[in-house]
Structure formats: structure tokens, C-alpha cells
Amino acid sequence: MKNILVVNGHEYYDFAKGELNKTLFSQITNTLEKKYQVKTTVIQDGYDIKEEQGKFKWADVIILQTPIYWMNVPGLLKTYMDKVFEYDIFFTGSPKYGQGGLMKDKKYMLSTTWNAPEYAFNDKDTFFDGRNVDEVLIHLHKTMEFIGMTALKSFSAHDVIANPDIEKYTKELDSHLKEVFKA
């Protein structure tokens, strides 16, 4: 892998201005561009659909840096996927449902921020009933699988509004990038 697209999926709200998301997006970009070719998209700043499709074709790896709102991505990121993931560019029909992805030679990584505390995952007696972050985000993983991509290890930061710890998140992200990208 040599070409990486980093997509900032944050959507501004008064209670979630996106400072942490911007910090992590910048950290990913700055770290990886030392070793790889990196292109970026900040969805909230606007985008051209055909240009984004070209970025996906160019990239070996796509990283989605996004907050999680209501156990899902922000509406702007969902709209981005609806518009950019076009038939006959990202997927086509196939005899077996879900096997028509046209991005088969590509990988993706989810980098997410949650206000949910870390303890709410992986324990059957908590809100997520023992599911880990990737299981809660199965809809995103299945979307990426549908277009043919293969998952890299996900990153997540927790308790980001109630108990923010920027230093902890950036250190953990640094370790994650070193593990996944040897960066």
C-alpha cells in the first residue's frame, strides 16, 4: 500500500464542534504522509462526487475518521457515501448478494470517537450487551465489504465529551498507526 485517502466525516453541532475529530484527522494525515502518498477530504467543507470517486480509485487504503452519533455516522458522512458509492464504479450486480464490490484491491480503517465509555463495550452486562466497537458498527463494515474492501484494525476513542483525554487518545492513535501501518 502506498496511497491513502483520509476522510473526515465530522458534522458540526454546537455540542460537538469537531476539535477532537480534527486533531485525530490531522494526526493520521501528518503521520502517514511521512511514508505514504496521502489525500484528504473534509466532508463538511464540501466535495465533488467525481473527484471523490477518483480518490477512492487512486487509494490503496481509505481511513474514515468520524464521530459516532446515535450509534451511527453523522448524516453528512452517510450522504457522502450515498452519493459517492455509485453503481458500476463501487459495486455492480452479482449472482450472490454482496459479492459485486468493485473495490476489491482496497483496504479501509475506521477511526471513531464515541461519548460512550469504553466499559460499555465487551461486557454482556452493559449497554452494548457484550458487543465490541466493530460489532456495534457492523453496518459500516458491511457497507465497506459490499463495495469490496477489506478491513484493517479499527481505532476508537471513548468518553470524548464527558471525560475528554486528548493526550491519551493521541498516544493510543500513534500506537495504532505504528501497528497497522508501521508508521
pLDDT of residue 129: 92
Q: Would the pLDDT of 1 be above 80?
A: no
pLDDT of residue 14: 81
Tell me the mean pLDDT in the region 158-171.
94
pLDDT of residue 18: 86
Q: Would the pLDDT of 119 be above 80?
A: yes
Contact 166, 173 (CB under 8 A): no
Confidence tier at 120 by pLDDT (50, 70, 90): very high
Question: What predicted TM-score, i.e. pTM, was given to this entire model?
Answer: 0.95
Q: Which three cell numbers stand for residue 29?
A: 494525515
Q: Is 1.25.40.10 the CATH classification of the domain at 3-181?
A: no
pLDDT of residue 61: 98
β-pair type (107-113, 3-8): unpaired
Which residue type sits at 159? Answer: D
Tell me the mean pLDDT in the region 5-18.
89
Confidence tier at 179 by pLDDT (50, 70, 90): very high
CB burial of 63-77 (b: ≥16 within 10 Å; e: otherwise) equals bbbbbbbeeebbeeb
Confidence tier at 80 by pLDDT (50, 70, 90): very high
Cβ burial, residue 59 (10 Å; 0-12/13-18/19+): buried
Map out the domains of the chain as residue ranges. Answer: 3-181
